[in-house]
Amino acid sequence: MPTPQFTEWHTAEHLENEEDIRLYLDACKAYDDPRLMSFAQREAAKARENFSRRE
């Protein structure tokens, strides 16, 4: 069986506005996993940093 190929994925790079962040956080809440929510909140903060750099 061949080894799977994976690519890096940085969620913050794909969240383009506050609506994207809200939808992302809502989707993560559905899993009821505190570790996932912690990760998602860090990604949301990174995305907001990216927004401020674009302005």
In a domain, 7, yes or no: no
pTM of the shown model: 0.81
Cα–Cα distance list, 19 to 2, 5, 8, 31, 35 (Å): 39, 31, 24, 20, 22
> Tokens in use for 15?
């969240």
28 inside domain: yes
**Cβ atoms of residues 12 and 24 within 8 Å:** no
Residue 26 domain flag: yes
Which two three-digit tokens encode residue 12?
């913050």
Q: Is residue 24 part of a domain?
A: yes
The count of structural domains within the chain is 1
- CA 28, CA 25: separation in Å to the nearest integer? 5
Q: What is the pLDDT of residues 4-22, one digit of tens each?
A: 998 999 999 999 999 999 9
In a domain, 2, yes or no: no
The C-alpha atoms of residue 24 and residue 42 are separated, in whole angstroms, by 12
- Asked if the structure places residue 3 within a domain, the reply is no
What range defines the domain where residue 34 resides? Answer: 17-54
Q: Is residue 4 part of a domain?
A: no
| 29 falls within a domain | yes
Per-residue pLDDT tens for 21-48?
999 999 999 999 999 999 999 999 999 9
- The pLDDT of residue 33 is 98
